[in-house]
Amino acid sequence: MPSGVSPVVLRSRSADTPHSPRIRAEKPAGGNHSSSARRQCGPSRGRDEGVGNVVDPIVLSREEPALMDHARVSRLFAELGPEAAEAVVARALEELAKRLARLGRLRREGDPAYLRKTARGMAAIADELGMAALARVALDVTACVDTGDDVALAAVLARLERLGERSLLAIRDEAAGRG
């Protein structure tokens, strides 16, 4: 282990029951040490036992911004004019909403080929509208289908649903502000 770096071990301390653990970071005695080089979950084992400070749990956020390429939307409005661009955006938003709703149904029905095709089309439409994050996550769905990882697919579909709703609202607001 490099000089000046010490392991941080995460240990479980039982509260009232064995099923309600608290996580505590521990550092070996002997001075200031920087960030962790190794972490363990559960009871500490081995030579890294010692006393330490209680740390706050890590909170994972499910909020993800709807990233938009505003220049792409501006180009669309400049090339087509306000009325035609609004019509194109409206049709694209309607198609994205339909595909978003269809994805969950396709997963429940167990149709991975059509699920993949729907997500791939959704990525292409989102990319055309400058919705970079939505396009990327839709492609992540296709990767999960390709690998056959049902757990990852469920997680990515949930993420796509959350991000899709935010993205649809953002592009609608962007188009409404130009019209």
Residues near 79 by beta carbon (within 8 Å), at least 6 away in sequence: 85
Residue found by looking up tokens 């502000």 in the block = 177
35 or 110, which is more confident: 110
Calculate mean pLDDT across residues 8-26: 41
Query: CA-CA distance, 135 to 124, in Å (whole number)?
Result: 7
Calculate mean pLDDT across residues 91-120: 93
The predicted pLDDT at position 169 comes to 82
Q: Give the mean pLDDT of the chain.
A: 74
Neighbours of 92 (CB within 10 A): 19
Residue found by looking up tokens 């994050």 in the block = 133
Residues near 106 by beta carbon (within 8 Å), at least 6 away in sequence: 114, 115, 118
Domain residues of the chain, as ranges?
1-59, 70-178
- In the structure, what pLDDT confidence band is assigned to residue 179 with cuts at 50, 70 and 90? low
pLDDT digits 0-9 by tens, 45-85: 444 444 556 677 766 566 666 677 888 888 989 999 999 99
- In the structure, what pLDDT confidence band is assigned to residue 171 with cuts at 50, 70 and 90? confident
- In the structure, what pLDDT confidence band is assigned to residue 172 with cuts at 50, 70 and 90? confident
**Percent of the chain clearing pLDDT 70 (strictly above):** 61
User: What pTM was computed for the model?
Assistant: 0.61
The predicted pLDDT at position 98 comes to 94
